[in-house]
Chains A and B, each alone.
Chain A
Amino acid sequence: MSTPASFQSACPFPIENYPQILLAHGGGGRLMHQLIQRMILPAFKNPWLDAQHDASVIEPGGSRLAFTTDSYVVRPMFFPGGDVGSLAVHGTVNDLAMAGAKPLYLSAGLIIEEGLPMETLWKILSSMQRAAQAAGVQIVTGDTKVVDRGKGDGVYINTAGIGVVEHSLSITPTSVRPGDVVLVSGDLGRHGIAIMAVREGLEFDTVIESDSAPLAAPVLALVEKGVEIHCLRDITRGGLTSVLNEIAEGAGHPIHIEETQVPIREDVRAACEILGLDPLQVACEGRMVAVVPEREVERVLDLWRGFGVSAGAAVIGRVAEKGTARVLIRSAIGAQRILEMGSGEQLPRIC
């Protein structure tokens, strides 16, 4: 039997490398990047997907809308500073905000494990509603499915979101220019460490709370004041490292970072030292990177410092003209090294 030449039935992933999905394929590092590049993009090829934004900007009937989706499978469902419900709202709101859009409507798909106490479900739904209200969005459609006991961690949530784009900026890595300044909106790594501390039963002097929060307000403040934003990315799995590598790759220009300028709270650094993790690879859920021209830096800092969620904003580096590595970081004692995207899950070290 022959196959028409135009139809590619063979799996494009080099099968000899990975005959099956590993957890690392979802870890936000190189493996996930490869999965998207080699499987997802070729499967659905179109200009919106190819742009690889956190949210796609579509223009039906003359309006400009941002559209995105994300699924939330966090374990444990409840953690200091949030839960799977608030996370499912914040994450999708933030993806819309990264297009400079005003988030308006969300959907909610619940995949519930048999046996989940009603009270737990109610707590999660209430938390979603509170988060939606705080972020100024409505949950306008949804779906529920129940799976057998043991086939889910309590509840998985998928949310999709629509927002309206009221600017004419092109907020994307390709807008990034040499000389641009790289900022983060606050201290890094708290979400990942909050989750890890609960999972590993680690206790610190103070409870480390997740940074999970909506980022639309500080982004819209920039848009409303006409700040020339070149690129925005929220920092999630893979941490700052993955975001910077993605921006640098898309921009075609290297990024240089000063390690001592990257804000990381003392307790998060300590936890990372103990666990053998790199704080620059730890997940956040309410932090973003912005790349702007140098003349806009002061305005961004001023505007961001007016919001609790971005009060800790800081300049961390700069876009360079060219170089062989995507991201270089200058260490505390002054030497430079590559900031390489992790491979997948960060694995705790032996000693």
Chain B
Amino acid sequence: MKFVDEYRDPAMAHQFRRELARITTRPWTIMEVCGGQTHAIVKFGIDELLPPQVRLIHGPGCPVCVTSLELIDQALDIASRPGVIFCSFGDMLRVPGSQKDLLSVKASGGDVRVLYSPLDAVRIAAQNPGREVVFFAVGFETTAPTTAMAVCQAARLGLKNFSLLVSHVLVPPAMEGLLSDPECQVQAFLAAGHVCAVMGYEEYLPIAARLRVPIVVTGFEPLDILHGILMCIRQLESGRAEVENQYSRAVRREGNLPARQMLGEIFRVVDRKWRGVGEIPGSGLALAEPYRAFDAALKFGVSQLSVNEPAECQSGLVLKGRIKPAECGAFGTRCTPEHPLGATMVSSEGACAAYYRYRRDPSIIPNS
């Protein structure tokens, strides 16, 4: 398949492998920020191709995983109400709140629908003027522009029955937050290519310079990831700390300007609580003042809901790269994709789910 097979070529993969083995002289720890990359790494066994000195840790880049328990409970509360059509991306449905998940709400009679685009929710709202239609707007900078477009369209159509539970989060503040942790072991980052396709990579320049950390904007196919790791190691071995762009076929320095402009108009930056990590200043998007009428949390009066996370779930340590999923005592026993204790087990991009799906057999979990 064009644009896929050429990035999964075994011969090229082994060239990267040899080059990595040749240039690596010391132990290095690299974090891939994005959950999509985590899945590709585990699915294709990319970590098995790396020299033993190179350690990958899986970052907090799964929007489903980091959505706070409060927001999930707010979503469950709204979705359970009669007359509401609750729309969500597919992988939010199985994410456990403190009591249940959206799939159970659906089984109990709630009208919960899986959509591929928030624009479909706008269409559903226009077709069902007698019903309240709510979209659960989850995701990083990657999905935020389509949410912004949905708000624009709903405003233009004058829809009164459409609202959004906005849970968008921003990557750069999370990276800074991780690096400010004194126990942080990360020496270089693979930055998420899709986020940068929207936002560009100018934001990373001060982070790389100030915190002396190489950041390589990286794609999602096996060869992209191997190439990104190679670029990181080259920088680390030569003592550089720069922002480089491996994913140049999709990412420009300035990103997608119309999308960024729309984000600036529809949203404002707020502090946001990340599941398992805690509050990170300036790491979330909320609707800007002129669009507050579309805020589902206000409309349904659920913004005061507050809950605590289950004590046994160590997803926070997994998201910070402190432990590997299999090192958690509940992994694969009390915590499985059917009964996840935390969101890292449920989302298709969560590190725990990736390990459960592809690596449960301990004999093929490489030492790291």
Contact = CB atoms under 8 A, between A and B. Distances in A.
A331 B104 CA distance: 35
A31 B358 contact: no
Given A343-B338, A348-B114, A336 B45 contact: yes
B45 A340 contact: no
A31 B91 CA distance: 17
B157 interface: no
B10 A334 contact: yes
Contact of B143 (A17, A337, A351): A351
Contact of B1 (A266, A275, A340): A266
A265 to B, nearest CB: 10
A168 interface: no
B138 to A, nearest CB: 6
Contact of B338 (A30, A200, A270, A337): A30
A351 B194 contact: yes
B222 A332 contact: yes
B311 interface: no
Nearest to B47: A335
Given A340-B357, A348-B90, 7 more contacts: A200-B116, A328-B364, A333-B9, A337-B358, A338-B359, A348-B116, A349-B348
Interface string B132-156: 0000001110110000000000000
Given A331-B45, A332-B8, A332-B222, A325 B361 contact: yes
Contacts of A134: none
A335 B92 CA distance: 30
B93 interface: yes
A333 B48 CA distance: 10
5 contacts: A325-B364, A333-B13, A337-B43, A338-B358, A348-B90
Interface stretch (A21-29, A70-78, A228-236): A21-29
Contacts of A349: 89-91, 348-349
Interface string B206-234: 00000000000000001000000000000
A347 B89 CA distance: 8
Interface residues of B, number: 51
A115 interface: no
A42 B321 CA distance: 44
Given A338-B361, A343-B337, A333 B114 contact: no
A350 interface: yes
B64 interface: yes
A269 interface: yes
List of 5 A-B pairs having minimum Cβ-Cβ separation, nearest first: A335-B45, A347-B90, A348-B90, A337-B358, A325-B361
B84 interface: no
Contacts of B138: 350
Contacts of A335: 44-46, 48-49
B60 to A, nearest CB: 15
B293 interface: no
Nearest to B5: A332
Q: Is the interface of B mostly helix, strand, loop or mixed?
A: helix
A31 B42 CA distance: 24
Contacts of A325: 360-361, 364
B300 to A, nearest CB: 23
Contacts of A351: 36, 63, 139-140, 142-143, 194
**Residue from B91, B138, B361 whose CB has the most chain A CB atoms within 10 Å:** B361
Contacts of A321: none
Contacts of B338: 17, 30-31, 343
B361 A324 contact: yes
Given A22-B107, A343-B337, A331 B43 contact: yes
Contacts of A337: 42-45, 358-359, 364
B94 interface: yes
Interface in B89-125: 89-94, 103-104, 106-108, 114, 116
B304 interface: no
A113 B106 CA distance: 22
Which of A17, A21, A324 is most buried by chain B, counting CB atoms within 10 A of its CB? A324
Nearest to A351: B142
A273 B4 contact: yes
A152 interface: no
B128 to A, nearest CB: 16
A3 interface: no
A20 B364 contact: no
A248 to B, nearest CB: 13
A219 B339 CA distance: 40
Contacts of B362: 324
A142 interface: no
A263 to B, nearest CB: 13
Contacts of A306: none
A350 B94 contact: no
B363 interface: yes
A12 interface: no
Interface string A19-54: 011111000001100000000000000000000000
Given A266-B1, A273-B1, A343-B337, A20 B108 contact: yes
Contacts of A273: 1, 4
Kindly name the residue among A23, A328, A331 whose own CB sees the greatest number of chain B CB atoms within 10 A: A331
B103 A23 contact: yes
A200 B4 CA distance: 23
B21 to A, nearest CB: 15
Nearest to A268: B1
Interface in A264-315: 266, 269-270, 273, 275-276
B63 A340 contact: no
Contacts of A20: 104, 107-108
Contact of B360 (A24, A338, A343): A338
B356 interface: yes
Contacts of B361: 323-325, 328, 338
A153 to B, nearest CB: 16
Contact of B45 (A21, A30, A334, A347): A334
B227 to A, nearest CB: 13
